[in-house]
Chain A
């Protein structure tokens, strides 16, 4: 005997201090914020309140990109391309999507953030990363 059931679960999550500043800067200024750790000299994307490597806090807030390089990519069967993008100025990569590709992406290719026309304080305020002007895909 099998009993079928479905549950709809509503949630509300706080982005926190660093997350809220990051999202507000995306929405209001089209700026991508990161964090520099004075302790280990690493620069993280996105902005965060403590260092993911050495644990130091607080961190210095800096602007990153909007250009960067593709570190790794994968394509889903429906054609959606996901990538790890290392923004200019960052030591870590941001997980996001590649858009406006003329062909198959390649590791190391230059890309640039394309901001969404309507922004709602979400990581998807970056609509995706597209090949930089003059970059060959």
Chain B
């Protein structure tokens, strides 16, 4: 694999409804900022990857309608649509295109405008016989796994609420974040509306409108374009069987994320992720998921995730800050969310994190989670 780095990032202001912008304008807002950040011109882009879940907006071929906004007209362009992992898998696709030597510069743009369609309908368009007829949708599906995980690990509602609070407080330092709640308390999370036992409203991510873009460059170009390129040390992806009942104790084992992380750490030469990573941007659509991911990502032993959040290990000032951006719990335009994870991880290495910058970041992790337990893991570093 040829050396690859992320040299620029750009994202929109994310909100419940960006009625001020069309899908194309939203994509252009993020793409233009990424080009500006990388100090490149549209003609420098060799190829474009679009990440989006078109069922949510109910408009076919997003790469057609927003491609030109991402400077794709007349260039190679593909779409990645793998649910929550759309963004991270889109980034990995762009990374592979450059790593192969096929292209020097690839622009990856993820977007979603949940306010324009009906996300729950899109989520319900699952297998018509076994899933759709009984129950489908993000909340209930997660709730089943969460109740099992809680019972096995002894995780408390309070520990999950602490994750929810950390996310929204961190988001208050991120000018692009959707839910910025600097004064949110654990008690307010625990008092929020019950959705599906044991999940409450503030345990869940919001639905956001937004877009995010990254500029992926070959080694030679990267050194010229950015004084501190975010080098891709490893990228791994795993899919899973379709039916939740087939997967052994899904959230407790989380074999896809566990395996993707194991492969990525091996590729990046990481033995102790808690000590060797400086920051992590992980895809946590539910408060409880972040705790389960701590274990799957090897930040702690099984059953110790609650202790990590209680002791502040993953807070901004902790040993391994997790989601300085506020994470998916604060901002979730699905097709963009994975790109945001990678962009935020790259931003931390670029040293352009503003108020959410963690000091001295040299190694960063970005992860994706999508559909029924698909997972991506990407390790970025300040050296190739």
B144 is contacted by which of A45, A84, A123 (Cβ under 8 Å)? A84
Quick check: A107 and B241 within 8 Å, CB to CB? no
Interface centre among A2, A45, A74, A124 (most CB of B within 10 A): A74
Chain A residues closer than 8 Å to B194, beta-carbon distance: 77
Does B197 sit within 8 A of A, measured CB to CB?
A: yes
Does B128 sit within 8 A of A, measured CB to CB?
A: yes
Chain B, 240-257, contact with A by CB distance < 8 Å: what is the 0/1 string?
011111100000000000
Chain A, 12-23, contact with B by CB distance < 8 Å: what is the 0/1 string?
010100010001
Does A131 sit within 8 A of B, measured CB to CB?
A: no
Query: Interface size bucket, B side?
Result: 20 to 34
Q: Which chain B residue lies CB-closest to A76?
A: B196
Q: Which of A96-131 contact B (CB under 8 A)?
A: 96-97, 107, 122-124
Q: Which chain B residue lies CB-closest to A5?
A: B58
Chain B residues closer than 8 Å to A71, beta-carbon distance: 148
Complex Cα distance, B148 from A53, in Å, reads 22
Quick check: A123 and B245 within 8 Å, CB to CB? no
Q: How many residues of A contact B (CB 8 A)?
A: 32
Quick check: B129 and A94 within 8 Å, CB to CB? no
Quick check: A94 and B245 within 8 Å, CB to CB? yes
Q: Which chain B residue lies CB-closest to A1?
A: B19
Does A7 sit within 8 A of B, measured CB to CB?
A: yes
Does B195 sit within 8 A of A, measured CB to CB?
A: yes
Does A52 sit within 8 A of B, measured CB to CB?
A: yes
Does A56 sit within 8 A of B, measured CB to CB?
A: no
Query: With contacts defined as CB atoms under 8 Å apart, how many contacts are there between chain A and chain B in the complex?
Result: 83
Closest beta carbon of chain A to B73's beta carbon, Å: 25
Quick check: A19 and B129 within 8 Å, CB to CB? yes
Quick check: B133 and A74 within 8 Å, CB to CB? no
Does B134 sit within 8 A of A, measured CB to CB?
A: yes
Chain A residues closer than 8 Å to B198, beta-carbon distance: 74
Quick check: A74 and B196 within 8 Å, CB to CB? yes
Q: Contacts A94-B245, A95-B243, A95-B244 given: A76-B140 contact, CB under 8 Å?
A: yes
Complex Cα distance, B243 from A94, in Å, reads 9
Does B266 sit within 8 A of A, measured CB to CB?
A: no
Closest beta carbon of chain B to A19's beta carbon, Å: 6
A95 is contacted by which of B135, B146, B193, B196 (Cβ under 8 Å)? B135
B134 is contacted by which of A74, A95, A107 (Cβ under 8 Å)? A95
What are the 10 tightest A-B residue pairs by CB atom distance, in nearest-first order? A93-B245, A74-B143, A72-B148, A75-B197, A13-B128, A92-B246, A74-B196, A72-B144, A52-B241, A82-B135
Chain B residues in the interface with A (C-beta under 8 A): 19, 58, 128-131, 133-135, 140, 143-148, 151, 193-199, 241-246
11 contacting pairs across A/B (C-beta < 8 A): A11-B128, A52-B242, A72-B145, A72-B148, A74-B147, A74-B197, A77-B194, A77-B196, A82-B134, A84-B144, A107-B151
Task: Identify 19 new A-B residue pairs, CB closer than 8 A, beyond the known A46-B130, A72-B148, A74-B199.
Answer: A11-B128, A44-B246, A52-B241, A52-B242, A53-B241, A72-B144, A74-B146, A74-B196, A74-B197, A76-B195, A77-B195, A82-B134, A82-B140, A84-B245, A92-B245, A92-B246, A97-B135, A107-B147, A107-B148
